[in-house]
Amino acid sequence: MMRVGSMIAGLALLLGAAACGADDGPGLSGAEGAGTATTAGPDGEAADGGSDLTLPEEVVPFTGDPADVVALDNSFNAEGISVPAGTSVRWVNNGRQDHDIVPAGETDASGEWGADPGDFAPGGTYEHTFTAPGTYNYYCTLHGTESAGMVGVVVVE
């Protein structure tokens, strides 16, 4: 009986992963996060908050402009980046699915920055310049939540 239960659990796990699509390449998992992040307020300024959002284990520093983040199916690569203030970040959808980019704490991309799914289809790009220092968490509402799944963070120094 235990063996049948294990087989059913394994099948459910496989079906759940298949429903979201395959990953096109390496990415960082939100489960690898460590530490508490500072979220950005609606005006784009950094705001301290009692957030459960975390920084990924690896935050990749970029010095060039723009700094590129690749959206694959179910991950942003790199999940965490750091840039100097005034740097543009360009997201490129190299996956097979539509994605969006929504700042954590927002219900849609109609705030200061972000991209709607119709504007960020496969092959699409989105660019935003971050001028204020802070930590800006974002996610794809189609493939994650604010704190799990397809999430990312831009640390502006």
**Domain range summary for the chain, segments of one domain joined by +:** 22-156
CA dihedral 54, 85, 77, 72 (to 10 degrees): 110
Give pLDDT tens digits for 13-32. 333 333 343 333 333 323 22
**What's domain 22-156's superfamily in CATH?**
Cupredoxins -  blue copper proteins (2.60.40.420)
Per the confidence metrics, is the pTM higher than 0.85?
A: no
What is the C-alpha to C-alpha distance for residues 92 and 157, in angstroms, rounded to an integer? 23
What is the C-alpha to C-alpha distance for residues 144 and 65, in angstroms, rounded to an integer? 28
What is the C-alpha to C-alpha distance for residues 32 and 2, in angstroms, rounded to an integer? 31
| pLDDT < 70 positions in the chain | 1-54, 107-111
